[in-house]
């Protein structure tokens, strides 16, 4: 997606497929792993087109700056914890009623490592044995990530920054949603969303709000498909559901 016209055309096409919301990606990558970030004019055109068509937008962000661009463009939600959100960004999210799906679980590698290596039979009953074996194998990509000190350190930092951002956002009155980003290495559908609720509680989100984050808050208020009980999906629960398409735009093209 190279031009604002292409961005608008992509949103138009998706709107024709009756999606519930559009997910865009603003991600420059991280030290040692740069990514081509979506052009800002394309990004703004996509958000504006979605808005004009009554579709919500939520944005995968990599940094606080990305989050600011998303909020200023009029996005409805922020996905992931952006390796720490600034107090100003959080205040802006509260003022503009931008939702926050921090996906803390995806950064919690201590938990993932213990889950994969540990003897938790209840957990093992929920996952495909071959997948678990693959993760345990010393040569797999998960083991490679775990063996890379820079990655482990960076993720640990992102995890703790994320917990702080969630606590600050919750205090500021930002609406928190529960999503696990399942599909990432060792981020299993099911157990990861439950763990996300534990992490929201660890970040001092009031327990009643933790429950709402995983249930009633997940349905986009303006969704054409509101009330059809779609179940949980990748980015967030409810309205980010199974039949809805969450679409990511990257500098390189379109992904789902
Ligand atoms: Zn994402």
Question: Does the CA dihedral 115-121-125-130 come out positive or negative?
Answer: positive
Answer yes or no: is 208 within a domain: yes
Residue 241 CA, ligand 1 centroid: distance in Å:
15
Residue 189 CA, ligand 1 centroid: distance in Å:
15
Answer yes or no: is 135 within a domain: no
Residue 102 CA, ligand 1 centroid: distance in Å:
10
Answer yes or no: is 151 within a domain: no
Residue 78 CA, ligand 1 centroid: distance in Å:
9
Residue 80 CA, ligand 1 centroid: distance in Å:
7
Answer yes or no: is 111 within a domain: no
Answer yes or no: is 128 within a domain: no
Answer yes or no: is 119 within a domain: no
Structurally, the chain folds into a number of domains equal to: 1
Residue 25 CA, ligand 1 centroid: distance in Å:
7
Domain range enclosing 238: 4-106+162-255
Residue 119 CA, ligand 1 centroid: distance in Å:
30
CA–CA dist 206, 197 (Å, integer):
11
Q: What is the pLDDT along the chain (256 residues), one digit of tens a residue?
A: 899 999 999 999 999 998 989 999 999 987 778 899 999 999 999 999 999 999 999 999 999 999 999 999 999 999 998 889 999 999 999 999 999 999 999 999 889 988 888 888 888 888 888 888 888 887 777 888 878 888 888 889 999 999 999 999 999 999 999 999 998 888 998 899 999 999 999 999 999 999 999 998 876 544 454 433 333 334 444 334 333 333 333 333 333 3
Residue in 68, 64, 18, 19 with CA at minimum distance from that of residue 43: 68
Residue in 58, 80, 107, 38 with CA at minimum distance from that of residue 244: 58
The CATH number of the domain holding residue 197 is 3.20.20.140
Residue 158 CA, ligand 1 centroid: distance in Å:
14
Answer yes or no: is 36 within a domain: yes
The pLDDT, as a whole number, for residue 219 is 65
CA–CA dist 247, 31 (Å, integer):
25
Any idea of the CA torsion for 166, 35, 145, 168, to the nearest 10 degrees?
-10
Six-digit token pair at 48? 């504006």
Answer yes or no: is 217 within a domain: yes
Residue 27 CA, ligand 1 centroid: distance in Å:
9
Distances (CA, A) of 180 to 44, 118, 162, 195, 196: 26, 20, 13, 8, 6
End-to-end CA distance of the chain: 14
């Amino acid at each position: 997606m190279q031009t604002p016209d292409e961005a608008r055309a992509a949103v138009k096409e998706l709107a024709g497929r009756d999606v519930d919301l559009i997910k865009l990606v603003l991600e420059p990558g991280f030290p040692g792993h740069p990514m081509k970030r979506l052009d800002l004019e394309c990004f703004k055109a996509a958000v504006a087109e979605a808005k004009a068509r009554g579709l919500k937008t939520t944005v995968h962000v990599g940094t606080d700056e990305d989050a600011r661009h998303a909020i200023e463009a009029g996005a409805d939600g922020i996905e992931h914890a952006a390796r720490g959100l600034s107090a100003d960004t959080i205040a802006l999210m509260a003022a503009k009623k931008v939702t926050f799906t921090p996906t803390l679980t995806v950064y919690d590698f201590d938990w993932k490592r213990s889950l994969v290596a540990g003897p938790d039979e209840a957990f093992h009953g929920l996952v495909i044995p071959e997948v678990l074996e693959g993760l345990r194998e010393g040569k797999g990509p998960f083991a490679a990530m775990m063996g890379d000190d820079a990655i482990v350190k960076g993720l640990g930092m992102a995890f703790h920054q994320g917990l702080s951002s969630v606590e600050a956002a919750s205090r500021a009155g930002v609406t928190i949603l529960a999503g696990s980003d399942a599909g990432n290495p060792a981020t299993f559908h099911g157990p990861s969303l439950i763990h996300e609720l534990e992490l929201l509680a660890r970040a001092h989100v009031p327990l009643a709000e933790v429950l709402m984050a995983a249930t009633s808050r997940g349905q986009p208020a303006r969704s054409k498909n509101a009330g059809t009980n779609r179940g949980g999906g990748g980015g967030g629960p409810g309205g980010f559901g199974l039949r809805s398409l969450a679409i990511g735009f990257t500098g390189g093209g379109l992904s789902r």
